[in-house]
Structures are given as structure tokens and as C-alpha cells.
A and B are shown apart, each in its own frame.
With several copies, the nearest count.
Chain A
Amino acid sequence: MLDKNGIAKRIAKEIKDGYYVNLGIGIPTLVANYIPTGINVVLQSENGLLGMGPFPFEGEEDPDLINAGKQTITTLPGSSIFDSAMSFGMIRAQKIDLTILGAMEVSENGDIANWKIPGKMVKGMGGAMDLVASAKNIIVAMQHINKAGESKLLPNCTLPLTGVKCIKKIVTELAVLDILPEGGFKLLERAPGVSVDFIRQATLGKLYADDNVPEMILD
């Protein structure tokens, strides 16, 4: 079973040379730490930056330079700044090659819920609805089962939706899965030491698994 860093590490392997990538808050942010060396990747921050760099050195924080998580960051040689309309313009126009974000629930037809729990204080969808509706390539980083042991990969989402039929790939603490065009979770890889049966039990939505599902290779 993977920890958060493990999930981030596995997702990082999906990032290819020349990709522009938008990383959501939470586990997706950790992905930046595991981008393979030797490839050129540009991180977009939807508040208006291409080419997000690492956190600043202590004492060099610039209040005018933050990411979408409101963290102080830095630019890199070749960075560019733009306004919010252009930022979401490039997202809608599918200029961003890969979007990685978290989810509370994903359904077997690719719906995602990640912004609102009825009865709890709602903070808002931020840019998530724009990202899921527009991105051509989305990977969801999420927990397969919640703390009560219930599956979060469902036949249908029970929470209010963020987007419909938009998710194609999921990485959890247990598995890597694709969502099939005709619906259903296709098991691609198992986390080290996790059995197909365990994953099947942890998946409430339809799960397809071949006979020999390989273990993830993380390094």
C-alpha cells in the first residue's frame, strides 16, 4: 500500500518530456518532487504563471509571487506571467498537457466529485471545474478507500459532482486504474504487495482485471 508520496511518485512517471502540467492542491503538489530528471516539464499555476519554480529561500519570499495554493514560490528562466482570463483560456483551449488533481469520489463512467460535502461548510470549487471540464488528460490522485473503509471508486458518485465523464486515469494507494470508454475501472497495476482481490473488494464500481496484473514499478 502506498503512502501519499508513493502515489505522487507513481503519478510522476506519467509525466513526459515537453509536458505543460497543472498540479492541484494536496498529493498532486507532491508530484513536483518526483518529476524524472532529464525531462523538461513546465508547471502551470492557474493564478497566472507558467514555469513554477521551487519555494523561495528563507527571507526571499515575494508576496506578489504565489501559486494557486497561495504558497510563496519562485519563477524559473523562461517563466511567463499572465492574467486569470488567459490562464483559464489556455486551460480551456487544452494547451495544458496534463492535469493532476485530487478527488473525494470517482465513478466508473469518469465522473468526479471533489469540491463539496453536503452539510459541511463549502469552500468552493476554485479552478477544479474548469480543469476537469477542459483538460484532455487528467490523472486523479486519491485514496481508494476512506477512513471508514468504504470505497471511493463507485458506480455513481454520491457527492455533488465537479465534472462528468472526464476522468481517464486514477492512482490510489492500492492501484493504477484507467476508466474505460464504455465505463468501468480497468486495473492496470497493483501497489506492491496488494492483491487483485483486495483491490476488487475496495472498488465498489465495476472492476475489470486481467489475469496477470503487474505490480507498480516506482523507481
Chain B
Amino acid sequence: MINKVVAGADEAIKDINDGSTLMLGGFGLCGIPENCIAALVKKGVKNLTCIANNAGVDDFGIGLMLQTRQVKKMISSYVGENAEFERQLLSGELEVELIPQGTLATRCLAAGYGMPAIFTPAGVGTEVAEGKEVRNFNGKDYLMEYAFDADFALVKAWKGDTAGNLIFRSTSRNFNPVMAMAGKTTIAEVEELVEAGQLDPDHIHTPGVYVHRIFQGKDYEKRIEQRTVRKRID
């Protein structure tokens, strides 16, 4: 099997340079590549275009890269409560392209599956459709949307093996598998890195062929954005 292991986050991102286009997995703060983000902040690369469903919060996730002004453009479906984000956007320092969440996911899938474009009804008749080709199939209008073209995909998995195979845990899966397929270079950080052969081939979510570098992550905070609970007396 082909060994994809690198020592750590710094080595994994060493060729991410100014102006790169990155995909970052995660939904809110769930399943985000914490180690890669920390390494990017440390490295200080600038003018990044980030394709990610959300932009993190002020002091965590992609928000950390916004504070250091490393992000030139965000391509997201929802950019939450993030004061620094808002400030940069209003001041014109940050470009933002908002696209429907399903379009975001499917444009990743298209890249991973070698489909140059896909059709979706999301956004027909809205400002999202401006400048886009509309096509009718069976009486319904669809927009043609193009596959993403990202230099790097940074994803976070639960377990991975030395061959780059990945298994995700619960809803931290979200965008990670489709982005893993979509990056020209895909970097995976995992909570537990095991030898090839330790994962059941039937349980692998992302086959190693899609993963170029994998490393054992560390110090995961896994911050919860909305802690909602019920009382035991329920």
C-alpha cells in the first residue's frame, strides 16, 4: 500500500503558499481541521481563498485566520456570528461569495467525481442565478454550476490509516468526505492514525486514493457552538 503519512501539520501544509485556494471541512465548528488551521496561522500565508460552509467564530476555526487577515475571500453558505468577519466585510477587506449549501456540497462532489458541472434548482430566480445558465429539464428550471477547483482540501477525520483511508465520526463527517475528494492535494488530519489493515475496508468513507497526506492530529478542542441539553428529570 502507498504510505501517505507525514510528521505533522507543519509538514502537511508546507507547500500552501500565498494566494492558494483551500477547501476546509466542517459544519460550524464540528469536524474542522483544527491542527491545519493552527499551522496556517503559524505559517502566516496570506491572500487565501477559503471554501468552507462557515467561517468559524471570532476566536476559533477559520475565525483565527480572519483575525490574522490571511483570508482574501470566503466561499460559504452561512457566515455566522463573527464580529471580525463582519468588520472586514463591511470595510471591503474581505470578499464573500455566498452560495447555497447544497450547491457548495455538490460542486465539491462534482470535482471529486470528475464532472465539470452539475444542475441544481437551488437559487433559480434569485440573485444566486445572476449570470448563470438556466436550463429546463422535465418542466423544471435548474442552474448549471461548475465543479470547484481547489489547490488544497484540508479535512478532519476520526480515524485514518497509513494508506490514507479515512473514517469520520457522527455528524463531524459533513463536508469532509466530499472536500477530501475534491482537492488537487488533500491533507487529512485524524484523531487516531493506525496501520494499513486496521480499518475494515467496508467501513471506509474516503478511500486513500483521494488523500495525499495524513497525520496524527493533537490537542483537539472540538468546541461546541450551541450547547443544548435537557434535564435528566425529563
**A/B touching: CB–CB < 8 A:** yes
Q: Which A residues form the contact surface with B (CB < 8 A)?
A: 18, 20, 40-42, 44-51, 54-73, 75-96, 111, 121-130, 133-134, 160-165
Whether, in the assembled complex, B36 has its beta carbon less than 8 Å from a beta carbon of chain A, the answer is no
Q: Assess whether B171 is in contact with A93, with CB atoms less than 8 Å apart.
A: no
Query: Shortest distance in angstroms between A10's beta carbon and chain B's nearest beta carbon?
Result: 23
Q: How many residues of B contact A (CB 8 A)?
A: 82
A-B contact pairs, 5 of them (CB 8 A): A50-B209, A57-B230, A63-B29, A70-B29, A83-B177
Other A-B pairs, 4, CB within 8 Å; known A121-B86, A130-B101: A79-B201, A124-B76, A127-B100, A129-B102
> A57 contacts which of B79, B195, B229 (Cβ < 8 Å)?
B229
Contact flags (1/0) for B181-193 with A, using CB distance below 8 Å?
1000000000000
Q: Assess whether B102 is in contact with A92, with CB atoms less than 8 Å apart.
A: yes
Q: How far is the CA of A49 from the CA of B174 in the complex (A)?
A: 9
Q: How far is the CA of A82 from the CA of B27 in the complex (A)?
A: 13
Query: Shortest distance in angstroms between B171's beta carbon and chain A's nearest beta carbon?
Result: 5
Contact flags (1/0) for B104-120 with A, using CB distance below 8 Å?
11101101111100001
Q: Assess whether A76 is in contact with B228, with CB atoms less than 8 Å apart.
A: no
Q: How far is the CA of A56 from the CA of B231 in the complex (A)?
A: 9
Q: Assess whether B232 is in contact with A57, with CB atoms less than 8 Å apart.
A: yes
Whether, in the assembled complex, B227 has its beta carbon less than 8 Å from a beta carbon of chain A, the answer is yes
Which 5 A-B pairs give the minimum distances between C-beta atoms? A92-B114, A77-B197, A88-B102, A78-B196, A89-B113
Q: How far is the CA of A70 from the CA of B189 in the complex (A)?
A: 22
> B204 contacts which of A77, A81, A163 (Cβ < 8 Å)?
A81
State whether A76 and B178 are in contact (beta carbons under 8 Å apart), knowing that A66-B225, A81-B170, A123-B78 are contacts in the complex: no
Q: How far is the CA of A166 from the CA of B225 in the complex (A)?
A: 32
Query: Shortest distance in angstroms between A188's beta carbon and chain B's nearest beta carbon?
Result: 26
Residues of chain A with a CB closer than 8 A to B98's CB: 122, 124-125
Q: Assess whether B30 is in contact with A44, with CB atoms less than 8 Å apart.
A: no
Q: Assess whether B112 is in contact with A89, with CB atoms less than 8 Å apart.
A: yes
Whether, in the assembled complex, B35 has its beta carbon less than 8 Å from a beta carbon of chain A, the answer is no
Q: Which B residues form the contact surface with A (CB < 8 A)?
A: 1-3, 27-31, 53, 76-80, 86, 89-90, 98-106, 108-109, 111-115, 120-128, 158, 161-163, 165, 168-178, 181, 195-197, 201-202, 204-205, 207-210, 222-232, 234
Report whether over half of chain A's contact residues are helix, strand or loop; otherwise say mixed.
loop
Q: Assess whether A84 is in contact with B175, with CB atoms less than 8 Å apart.
A: yes
Q: Assess whether B181 is in contact with A93, with CB atoms less than 8 Å apart.
A: yes
Residues of chain A with a CB closer than 8 A to B122's CB: 92, 129-130, 133-134
Residues of chain A with a CB closer than 8 A to B127's CB: 160-161
Residues of chain B with a CB closer than 8 A to A62's CB: 170
> B171 contacts which of A49, A57, A94, A111 (Cβ < 8 Å)?
A49
Name the residue on B nearest A90 (C-beta). Answer: B209
State whether A44 and B105 are in contact (beta carbons under 8 Å apart), knowing that A58-B229, A79-B201 are contacts in the complex: no
Q: How far is the CA of A73 from the CA of B222 in the complex (A)?
A: 15
Q: How far is the CA of A207 from the CA of B27 in the complex (A)?
A: 41
Q: How far is the CA of A54 from the CA of B226 in the complex (A)?
A: 14
Query: Shortest distance in angstroms between A35's beta carbon and chain B's nearest beta carbon?
Result: 13
State whether A50 and B224 are in contact (beta carbons under 8 Å apart), knowing that A40-B3, A78-B196, A129-B128 are contacts in the complex: no
Residues of chain B with a CB closer than 8 A to A80's CB: 165, 201, 204, 207-208
Q: How far is the CA of A101 from the CA of B60 in the complex (A)?
A: 29
Q: Assess whether B229 is in contact with A56, with CB atoms less than 8 Å apart.
A: yes
Q: How far is the CA of A163 from the CA of B103 in the complex (A)?
A: 14
Query: Shortest distance in angstroms between A204's beta carbon and chain B's nearest beta carbon?
Result: 21
Name the residue on B nearest A91 (C-beta). Answer: B102
State whether A124 and B2 are in contact (beta carbons under 8 Å apart), knowing that A80-B204, A81-B171, A161-B125 are contacts in the complex: no
Q: Assess whether A56 is in contact with B230, with CB atoms less than 8 Å apart.
A: yes
